[in-house]
A and B are shown apart, each in its own frame.
Chain A
Amino acid sequence: MSSEEFINKATDVANSARALSDEVASLASEASRLAIDTAGQSAGSPFIMGLTVLVLAVFVGYYVVWNVTPALHSPLMAVTNAISSVIIVGALIAAGPADVGFSEIMGFIAIVLAAVNIFGGFIVAQRMLQMFKKKQ
C-alpha cells in the first residue's frame, strides 16, 4: 500500500466517522425532542387539562352553592352575574393591540358590556347585603 493510498483511505474513514457522528447527534436531538413530547403528553392536551379544571370547578361550585342560605339567593345571583363578567379578560386581550381593527372594536364593546356588569353586579349585591346587617 503506497503512502498516498493510505492517506486517501484514512481520509475516507475520517469522513465517514464524521458523518456517523453527525447522524448520532441528530438522532440524539430527535430522541430528546421525542422524550419532551411524551412527557408533555402524560400531562394531557390543553383540552384535557381544561376539562380537568372544569370538572373540579363544577364540584367546588356544587358544594359551595348548596351551602348558600336561601335568604341570600338574590345576592348570589348578583354576585355570580358580576363574576361571570370575568370574560372581560378575553375582551382586554382582544382590545389590547395598538392597531385598530374589527377584533379590537369587538374587544372594546365587550369591555364596556362586561364593565357595566362588574360594577353593577357588585354594587347591587353590596346594597342588598348591607340590608342584611344585624339591627341593634
Chain B
Amino acid sequence: MSSDLSALLYLAASVCFIMALRGLSHPTTSRQGNIFGIVGMVLAIGTTLMAPGVVSFGTILLGLLVGGAIGTVIALRIKMTALPQLVAAFHSLVGLAAVCVALATFYKPEAYGIGRVGDIQISSLVELAIGTAVGAITFTGSVVAFAKLQGLVSGAPLVFKMQHMLNAALGALVVVLLVLLCTTQEPLYLWVLIAVTLLLGFLLILPIGGADMPVVVSMLNSYSGWAACGIGFTLQNNLLIITGALVGSSGAILSYIMCKAMNRSFISVILGGFGAEADDGPAGSGGDDDRVVKSGSGDDAAFLMKNAGSVVIVPGYGMAVAQAQHTLREMVDLLKADGVNVRYAIHPVAGRMPGHMNVLLAEASVPYDEVLEMDEINRDFKSTDVVFVIGANDITNPAAKTDPKSPIYGMPILEVDQAQTVLFVKRGMSAGYAGVQNELFFRDNTMMLFGDAKQMCEKIVKSLEQL
C-alpha cells in the first residue's frame, strides 16, 4: 500500500476518533459515537497490517486474540461500582505498552525509518525518551491508583519527610538521563531512565489521598494520551499524535473540572497529603461532638417524603459502597406513584471518578433527565420540601460557603441547607473525607437516619408500602 493511501486512511481513523468524542455530547448520540471509535480503531489496525514491513500475521493475530479475550471478559464482568479501579488498571496498560513500543523502536529504529541502532535521528530519540518516561510514570502511577481504589493499600495519603525533595531530585535525574541518552545513544541510559521514571510514578501517586482520586484518575488518563503522542512524534505518525492529543486534552479538562469542583489547585492535588490532617483531629470538632442531633427512623423518613411535594436525592460514594442504587430507585418509584416530584442532584466530585454517580443511577434504570448537575439544581433547593442525602457529606457542607477557616472553604456545594427538611443517611457521626464536621447535622430541620444506606432504603420502601 502506498504511503499516501495509508496516511489518508490514518486521517479517516483520526476523524472517527474525533466523532467518537463528539457523540458523547448527548446520551442519544453517544452509542453512535462509540461505534465511530470502534470503526476508527479497525481502520488504524487494518491500515498498519497492510504496511510492507508487517508480515508475521500469525503472531499478531495471536496477540490480538489473547489481549482481546482478556479485555472482553474483564469488561463484561466488571461491576459498575468498580469502574474507577478498572479505568486505572487500563491506564497502566497503555503506559506499559508505550514503554514496550519505545524499547522496540530503540533497538530496531530501521523498521520505522528513523535511523540505525546507535545512530537514531536526534529529534526522534528525544521524543522517544519523553514518550518512554511519560509511559513509565503512567504505568506505576496507575498501578498505585488501582491499588488504592481497590482497597489493596490504604486510601489514606502516605506522606513522609523529604518526599518532595526526593521527587524533585528524581525529576532532575530524569532530565540528566534524557540529555545523556540523546547525546550518547547508550542503551544503558534508556534502561536507567525507565527504572527511575517507574519509581517516580509510584512515589508521585502514593501521597495522594482517596478523596483526590477523581483528579488522579483523570490526570493519568491525560498522561496515557501524552505518552501515545510522544511515540507518535518518534514514529512520525499523525494518527498517534492526533489521538494522543485528544486523550491528553480530555484528561486535562476532566482534571480541571474536578479540581474546580473541590476548589483545589491542581498543584496542591499533585503534591498530595490532602485529608492527612484528618488524623490529627479537625480543628473545632471537639466542641461540636457534644451537641445533639435529631435522629429518625425509616418510618419517619417515609412519612416526611410521602407528604412532600418535591424531593431531591443527593447520592454520594456511600451509596455506591452500599450498592443501594437499586433499592433507592424502588423507593423513588413508590414516591412518584404518590405524585411526589423526585429528582436527583449530582455534585461533580461525587463518587471516585468523573460521572461515576450518573452511571450508577443509569444502571439502576433512573432516567437521565431526572438526574441534574449542580448548576442546574442549586437554585431549586429553596423551593424543595425534602432533600434525601445518601452517602454524601462534604459536598453538602455549608461551611464551604460560610467558614473561611474550613479546609473545604470555597468549594462549590449542593445548597441542601436551603431546603425545608434534610434527611441524612449515614453510618455514624464520622467526618467526611476532608476531615471536617458537617454543620448541617446539628440544624433543627435536619434528621439523621443512622444505618447502612441500602438497609435504610429497604426500611423506607417497606413503610412506604404500608402507609
> Measuring CB to CB, which residues of chain A are less than 8 angstroms from any residue of chain B?
45-47, 50, 53-54, 57-58, 60-62, 64-98, 101-104, 106-135
Contact = CB atoms under 8 A, between A and B. Distances in A.
Contacts of A109: 97, 100
B407 interface: no
Contacts of B31: 126, 129-130
Contacts of B371: 71
Contacts of A104: 56, 59, 104
B151 interface: no
A69 B27 contact: yes
B244 interface: yes
Contact of B97 (A64, A88, A125): A88
A132 B241 contact: no
Interface in B53-108: 53-56, 59-60, 63-72, 74-76, 78, 80, 83, 86-87, 90-91, 93-94, 96-98, 100-101, 103-105, 107-108
Nearest to B98: A87
B201 interface: no
Contact of B104 (A47, A68, A106, A132): A106
A96 B111 contact: yes
Contact of A94 (B66, B101, B233, B368): B101
Given A69-B24, A115-B64, A82 B37 contact: yes
A108 B63 CA distance: 6
Interface of B is mostly: helix
B56 A54 contact: no
Contacts of A107: 100-101, 104
A129 B359 CA distance: 9
29 contacts: A50-B232, A57-B246, A61-B248, A67-B25, A68-B24, A71-B362, A73-B254, A74-B354, A74-B358, A77-B251, A83-B41, A84-B227, A84-B244, A85-B94, A88-B97, A90-B101, A91-B101, A92-B45, A94-B108, A112-B67, A114-B97, A116-B68, A116-B93, A118-B67, A119-B75, A120-B74, A129-B30, A131-B365, A132-B30
Given A87-B240, A132-B30, A80 B63 contact: no
A74 B27 CA distance: 12
Given A64-B22, A116-B70, A128-B80, 17 more contacts: A61-B249, A68-B24, A68-B25, A71-B27, A74-B353, A75-B34, A77-B87, A80-B221, A87-B94, A87-B240, A103-B105, A110-B100, A111-B60, A113-B96, A116-B93, A124-B86, A135-B365
Given A73-B355, A123-B75, A90 B231 contact: yes
Contact of B91 (A81, A90, A98, A128): A81
